């Protein structure tokens, strides 16, 4: 879970930033510190809000940005994570567009944006990415296993296919 924290500020941008913070589901203000917790899914869904909020607050005194309770304080570190997230967001948009274009080549840009921001589709894409990552980890650890399950004696169709494959080789 990502976290963006910033203090109550006298900046002219504080009102705008606070309005942006209310767009996120897990926002709270305690002891003059605004804290927003968000998942990668919510970040991708509300990228424009996050982008503006981040750049308005990045240089405020006491602003931290981090992941899983590891908060970064320096401008350089915060922007490195931001740019990594921006890159991931761009790749996610491009990947989504490619997948949708393969499914429906005639899809207009307006419909494309609607489909990309659909919650079920976002979950589907993130699951596909997670599955591909797990498969990659499995292949690194165990390699590709060329394994065929044994065929039962009464499975005549499978036995016939196996004979045909053997004859082709």
* Enclosing domain of residue 41: 2-74
- The domain total for the chain is 2
Euclidean distance between CA atoms 166 and 56, whole angstroms: 66
Cα–Cα distance, 6 to 65 (Å, whole number): 9
- Quick one: 7 and 48 in the same domain? yes
pLDDT at residue 44, rounded to an integer? 84
90 in the same domain as 68:
no
**The pTM is what?**
0.59
Q: How far is CA 116 from CA 44, 60, 78, 86, 112, in A?
A: 10, 33, 27, 16, 6
Q: Which two tokens stand for residue 31?
A: 């002891």
SS3 143: coil
In the numeric block, the tokens 């309770």 are attached to: 69
Q: What pLDDT is attached to residue 100?
A: 67
Same domain, 61 and 10: yes
DSSP symbols for 10-67? -STTHHHHHHHHTTSSEEEEETTEEEEEE-HHHHHHTHHHHHHHHHHHTTSTT-EEEE
pLDDT given at position 35: 93
> Which of 74, 93, 120 finishes a domain?
74
If asked whether residues 69 and 86 sit together in one domain, one would say: no
The tens place of each residue's pLDDT in the chain, 169 residues long, gives 889 999 998 889 898 899 889 989 989 988 999 999 988 888 888 888 888 888 889 888 888 998 888 777 888 888 888 888 888 888 887 777 777 666 656 555 565 556 556 667 667 766 666 666 666 766 776 665 555 555 666 667 777 778 888 888 7
Same domain, yes or no, for 92 and 69?
A: no
Query: What pLDDT does 36 receive?
Result: 93
Same domain, 48 and 13: yes
> In the prediction, which pLDDT does 120 show?
72
Does 154 fall in a domain? Answer: no
Which of 23, 45, 74 is a domain's end point? 74
Residue 163 lies in a domain: no
162 found inside a domain = no
């Amino acid at each position: 879970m990502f976290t963006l924290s910033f203090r109550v500020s006298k900046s002219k941008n504080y009102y705008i930033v606070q309005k942006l913070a209310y767009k996120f589901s897990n926002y709270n203000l305690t002891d003059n510190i605004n804290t927003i917790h968000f998942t990668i899914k919510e970040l991708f869904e509300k990228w424009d809000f996050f982008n503006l909020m981040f750049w308005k607050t990045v240089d405020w005194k006491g602003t931290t940005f981090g992941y899983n309770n590891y908060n970064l304080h320096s401008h350089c570190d915060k922007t490195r994570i931001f740019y990594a997230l921006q890159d991931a967001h761009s790749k996610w948009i491009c990947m989504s567009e490619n997948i949708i274009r393969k499914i429906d080549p005639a899809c207009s840009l307006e419909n494309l944006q609607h489909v990309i921001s659909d919650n079920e589709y976002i979950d589907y894409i993130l699951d596909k990415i997670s599955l591909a990552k797990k498969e990659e980890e499995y292949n690194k650890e165990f390699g590709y296993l060329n394994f065929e399950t044994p065929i039962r004696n009464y499975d005549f169709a499978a036995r016939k296919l196996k004979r045909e494959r053997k004859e082709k080789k």
